[in-house]
Amino acid sequence: MNIALIIAGGSGRRMQQEIPKQFINVNDKPIIIYTLEAFQKHPDIDEIGVVCIDGWHDILRAYTRQYRIDKLKWIVPGGENGQDSIRNGVLEAERRYRREDIILVHDAIRPLVSHDIISDCIVQCKKYGSAIVTTPCNTAVLRKTGAECSGEIVDRQTLAMTQTPQAFPIGRLADAHRTALERGIVNSVASCTMMIELGETVHFSIGSETNIKLTTKDDLEIFKALLAIRK
């Protein structure tokens, strides 16, 4: 089975909105529903789980009934940080599915994830045991040598810009989360960074510049513009 794990445990302070950013309405639809619909429509996704911020579980269930997201099978609470939230979801998945089943960990606030991105993520994970959606780094990158200055170039050919989903066999990712706790790794920013901190190698799958993460008000305006173009 292929399981989508949608991470919606954050409050989104940088968006400066009164409600969590994943529940902001755009064109009369919550952002998280755009995300869920992408996995709902994909034929290779069997079930969906969500890690949801406290106080919003019932609202999420109501939205999924309204928009007929019937692949959503379970919801668990978020944690103190991103790593905690992902671990909550992964350990719940471990209880429900086989260790060799694939879990695709995806940000709720990446609502434009495409069919092709999801497909390639699954294919590469089955082939290599992991799949991290990435894009090339297409901008000049400087390493800070002071608070507001730089005297060093970073070779962008050696860089990859990570996105989500990030896929692993459920058993492998669950074991990694337990090992991370034992080693004191408690605030890694993503599944791929946690794996690398544990000394693991991860493999890439295709991403897209339109698979944007909605973090700021500017990102929200870009999302609205991309939706208008699609229409």
- Among 9-13, 29-33, 42-46, the minimum mean pLDDT is found in 9-13
Q: How confident is the model at residue 12 (pLDDT cuts 50, 70, 90)?
A: low
- Kindly tell me if the per-residue pLDDT of 194 is higher than 70: yes
Q: How confident is the model at residue 15 (pLDDT cuts 50, 70, 90)?
A: low
- What's the one-letter identity of residue 189? V
Element of type H or E holding 4:
strand 2-8
Query: Coil, helix or strand for 73?
Result: strand
pLDDT above 70 as % of the chain: 97
Q: Taking residues 127-144, what's their average pLDDT?
A: 96
Query: Coil, helix or strand for 190?
Result: coil
CA 64: distance to chain centroid? 19
Q: How far is CA 11 from CA 28, 106, 176, 179, 195, in A?
A: 20, 16, 26, 27, 25
Question: Residue 21 and residue 44: Cα distance in Å, rounded?
Answer: 28
What are the E-state strand segments in 65-187?
72-77, 102-107, 131-136, 141-146, 149-154, 160-169
What integer pLDDT is reported at residue 231 of this predicted model? 78
pTM of the entire predicted model: 0.96
Question: What is the tens place of the pLDDT at every residue in 95-113?
Answer: 999 999 999 999 999 999 9
Query: Coil, helix or strand for 47?
Result: strand
Question: Residue 104 and residue 170: Cα distance in Å, rounded?
Answer: 9
What integer pLDDT is reported at residue 146 of this predicted model? 87
**Tokens standing for 210?**
């339109």
